[in-house]
Each structure stands twice: as C-alpha cells, then as structure tokens.
Amino acid sequence: MELIYEGTISKDKNHKRYEVRKLVLGDLTDILQVQEQVVHHLTDKGVLQPLTKEEFQYILEGNGLMIGAYVSEELIAFRALLAPPIDEEHLGRDFGMMENELSEVIYQEISNVLPAYRGNKLQQTLATLIMEELNKQESPYRYVCCTVAPFNIPSLKDKFAQGMEIVALKEKYGGQLRYIFVKELSVVDASPWQEIQIIEMNDIASQQGIIAKGWRGFKMEEQEGKQLVFYGSKHNRKAAIASELL
C-alpha cells in the first residue's frame, strides 16, 4: 500500500505512531469492520448513512479514492471520495447545477474513526490528505459535495473547517433530512459575506426559507446550549434597491 503520511496520536494517555495509506480492494474487509464498530457505538443511528459492501467496492475499483489510517497494521480510520453516477439523485441537482456541470462533481463520502481514537482530529487530517491526493491527479472535478445530518456535530464541524457551504436542506436517502454542502475546488479566497443571519439548527423551516433565497450556511457555533448556523449572502441589498429606483 502506498504511504501518504505519518503522524502521532494519543490513546489511553499513550502516544502512538500512525500511517496513512491509500486503500485498495484487498482492504475491504477491514473497512467494513471499522464501519460496523462506528455504527454500533452511535447513539443516534440516523446521523450516519453507512455504505454497503458493494458501494465500497465500487469506489475501490476506480470510481473514487479511499485512504486509511493505521496503527500497528490495524485500520483505525478511513475517508472516501466517490465519483458519482449521473442520475436523478445526483447532489448537484439539489442546488440547481446545470446538466453539463454534473460530471465536474466528486462526493466526499463516508468518514469513520474508531471510537477509541476520537479526539485526535483524524477526520480533519484525513480530509486534508485525501483532497491533496485528489489534487495530485489530473481530475476533471471542479466541485466537491456531500450530505450531513443536522446535529451530526463532528461531521458538520469537519465540513465547515474545510470551507464547505450549505446550499440545501432537504430529505435524501428515503426521507432522511440532510444538509447538502458544496465547495468549488479552485476558489481559495472567497469574497466576504455582505449580510449574515443566525438561525437555530432545529429551526428547519427558517433555514430552508433563507437557503431558497440564495443564502449559504458557512459556520456553526454553540451558544447557551443551542447549535446555531450562520448564513451569509453576497447579494448587496442596498445596491439592488438603488437599481430598482433608477
């Protein structure tokens, strides 16, 4: 397996070396075992949409990219990118992408870390590394998209830390409510938000309403026990009003 990165993490107050490698089809059994342990420890099973064996196999057969973190040859975490089929469920359709743009989208798929190794920012590290690996390839991708359940706080923080933005909030996967995130890979420094509104995460209707107006969610904070989502607009309302008066 191709070595990508080496680092140190903590477990039971001990420091351990770990390696990050590209995953291949022969790692499928280990991948499924890690996912099984992660799902088993979830208090709310609805926050994660596990992948099937066939879905992992599809990625590992060349339709995306997977990397994994190992401690002493034990897989402890993995992250996946998926080159999605162009079908009716394509995430690009959920926020108005043109048909000819859909092939420029790659998904950030599932990311799993064994419970014993949480708190080491492995999810964030793997996110950085897998996007670096993607950038090394001559890929046709311009956008990265993904879905996250409301109140899946670790995954939401992970997406915002990468500069991804909420562009939709709707039911996916047979009725599961999901945020849809997107990031344009070539954009490094985005222009500042001209207007900002803060909405409680449990206020679904208000979030859907502001998204429908073209606003995007760009960060979250916890205040007084409430999870707040920050939405921004780059539409200059004063300029729009002035133009209407001309």
Residue-wise pLDDT tens digits, 55-114: 999 999 999 999 999 999 999 999 999 999 999 999 999 989 999 999 999 999 989 999
As given in the structure block, the two tokens for residue 231 are 């939405």
DSSP 43-87: S-GGG--PPPHHHHHHHHTTSEEEEEEEETTEEEEEEEEE----S
Q: What confidence category does residue 1 fall into, taking pLDDT thresholds of 50, 70 and 90? A: low
What is the value of pTM for the model shown? 0.85
Q: Answer for the pair 149, 178: CB distance below 8 angstroms, yes or no.
A: yes
**Whether domain 3-153 has CATH 3.30.300.30:** no
Q: pLDDT grade, residue 43 (50/70/90)? A: confident
- Compute the distance between CA of residue 18 and CA of residue 6 in angstroms, rounded to an integer: 6
pLDDT at site 46 = 67
What is the band of 236 on the pLDDT scale with cuts at 50, 70, 90?
low
Break the chain into its structural domains and give their ranges: 3-153
- How many CB atoms within 10 Å of residue 28? 16
* 135 pLDDT above the threshold of 90: no
> What pLDDT score was predicted for residue 238?
42
> Please, is 242 exposed, middle or buried when counting C-beta atoms within 10 Å of its C-beta (0-12, 13-18, 19+)?
exposed
pLDDT of residue 230: 98
At 17-37, the pLDDT tens digits run 999 999 999 999 999 999 999
What is the longest distance spanned by two Cα atoms in the chain?
70
pLDDT in the model for residue 41: 85
State the DSSP H helix or E strand holding residue 153, giving kind and residue range, or none if neither.
helix 153-161
